[in-house]
Amino acid sequence: MRLNSVTHTLVIVFHYRYLLHMPVLTVFYLKLIINLGLTLGIIWTISRSGLFAKWQLEKDKLIFSIAFIIFRLIPWIGIFVVINEDPRGDIPFFFYKAEAAKQGGFVYRDFWSYHAPLYAYIISIPVWIWHNSRAIVLFMVLVETGILWLTYQTYKEKSSKALQLAVIYLMLPAAFMYILVDGQEEVWFWGAALLIWRYTIKKPDNYEVGIGLLYALTLLTIKVTFIFLLPALLVVVKRPVKMLLTMAAIGIPAVGFLYWQIGDLFLMPIQHTEQLMTPNLFSISRPWVELIFHINEKKSTMINWIGLLFTVFVPVYMAYKARHRHINEILPGIFIACFVCMMIFQASAMGAYVIAYLMAILFEIIDIRKTKHVVILLALNWLTVVQPFVWVYIKQPAYISPAMFSNVSFLFEYILQIMNVLCFFWVLRETYRKVVVPSNLATA
């Protein structure tokens, strides 16, 4: 069944949405109540640093398991088994792809996908066990938990707060809502970067072949978006040509096979970048830019290319400034910079992408002893949950004139966007300090 347009997919998605049990507004109010409870839990956890440091030494596996059961497994059972709520967000679309993959369909030719070629086949694994879209949500939760455990294992050697941060992460509203409720997969990006980072720690010399292999497999597994990290990575590796040759050894045969089977349909994921989303620098500056010249949404490719330039340039600049440091010292920071720049500068970036680096910034950037850090972390999480809903609820307005802000709903949502982007810039600034500034501390 060859698909000639996205129409068929949209029909499927909307069909699933009409089958959902609970009204959207009710779900949103419940999310706010849950967010409040999670925030209070985070505040309590932050106040118990000594207790968590002790637990980290004595019973970290037990505490981690209890936290997983309380903040992931029990809520999943409550939402999708007891209440019998149908999955929302992208899960209906994921289930459509997983079903098609399970039936032996060929990605891009037989079913629509914005992900890497292997993604649909990976998420079809839980569907083989339980033919239900809820199985994909549980699968996403288990993958996220595995990434969190590996992150904790990586950081616990150098931080007595690693277990505390792991528990805090499970209570972050954005992670809770986007992964447990909506089944988003962006945290996989950090999982891939984490594997690459751990490899450079384990093998500080001659690591290019290993990380080249991991990088190529990631591009075939998750999303083409991961390519944004590559230019900065090539700046800090010792033998970039060796890494590229390894990637080519995997990538060229894969692309050749796809072209042989389906022609240029494998370029389908790139088309997703043409959609204008919020919140980002373009979405908040557009009403003022439109005063100077009109922007045609249907021809937004140039806007995204300009955004791509900054998305790549800023992390590359940071990597260049820190090139004297070993890759295993700065890779998490470079990763964070890459994806936060994507959210700032790409007009097609959406709020859910914060999941890509949320775990990384908590462990790498946030200092829970500083009130300002905690406030911004919580603000970023609340804004990431609230702003997308408000934007969709008021019919996804594109602000093309300041006069539109006479509508109070529009003005409120626009302010939420600005606050969100300001949080992104703060994360970028702190990441820059983490990656680049330490080289100057000795002379300070």
Residue 219 has a pLDDT of 97
Does the pLDDT value for residue 41 go beyond 60? yes
Least Cα distance to 347 among 380, 304, 405 occurs for 304
Largest CA distance in the chain: 65
Return d(Cα 218, Cα 204) in angstroms, integer: 21
Residue 89 has a pLDDT of 83
Does the pLDDT value for residue 128 go beyond 80? yes
Residue 15 has a pLDDT of 38
pLDDT in tens, 83-109: 998 898 899 999 999 999 999 999 999
Does the pLDDT value for residue 442 go beyond 80? no
Residue 8 has a pLDDT of 39
Segment 289-303 shows an average pLDDT of 83
Residues 6+ apart with CB under 8 A from 313: none
Amino acid at 70: I
Return d(Cα 149, Cα 65) in angstroms, integer: 10
> In the predicted model, what is the mean pLDDT of the chain?
91
Residue 13 has a pLDDT of 39
Least Cα distance to 332 among 205, 236, 210 occurs for 236
Burial of residue 129, with CB atoms counted within 10 A of its CB: 0-12 exposed, 13-18 middle, 19 or more buried: exposed
Token pair in block for residue 318: 């940071």
Does the pLDDT value for residue 7 go beyond 50? no
Long-range contacts at 322-328 (CB < 8 A, ≥ 24 apart): 322/236, 322/435, 322/436, 322/439, 323/235, 323/236, 324/439, 325/236, 325/438, 325/439, 326/200, 326/204, 327/200, 327/207, 327/233, 327/236, 327/237, 328/197, 328/200, 328/201, 328/204
Query: What are the backbone angles phi and psi of residue 40, rounded to the nearest 5°?
Result: -65, -40
Token pair in block for residue 424: 């992104």
160 within 8 A of 58, measured Cβ to Cβ: no
Q: How confident is the model at residue 387 (pLDDT cuts 50, 70, 90)?
A: very high
Residue 275 has a pLDDT of 74
pLDDT in tens, 338-358: 999 999 999 988 888 999 999
Q: How confident is the model at residue 51 (pLDDT cuts 50, 70, 90)?
A: very high
Q: How confident is the model at residue 389 (pLDDT cuts 50, 70, 90)?
A: very high
Token pair in block for residue 27: 């779900």
Residue 270 has a pLDDT of 73
Residue 107 β-bridge partners: 111
pLDDT in tens, 235-290: 999 999 999 999 999 999 999 999 999 998 878 877 655 678 999 999 999 999 99
Return d(Cα 159, Cα 386) in angstroms, integer: 32
Residue 289 has a pLDDT of 93
Q: How confident is the model at residue 22 (pLDDT cuts 50, 70, 90)?
A: low
Lowest mean pLDDT among 188-197, 267-276, 317-326: 267-276
Residue 294 has a pLDDT of 86
Residue 348 has a pLDDT of 87
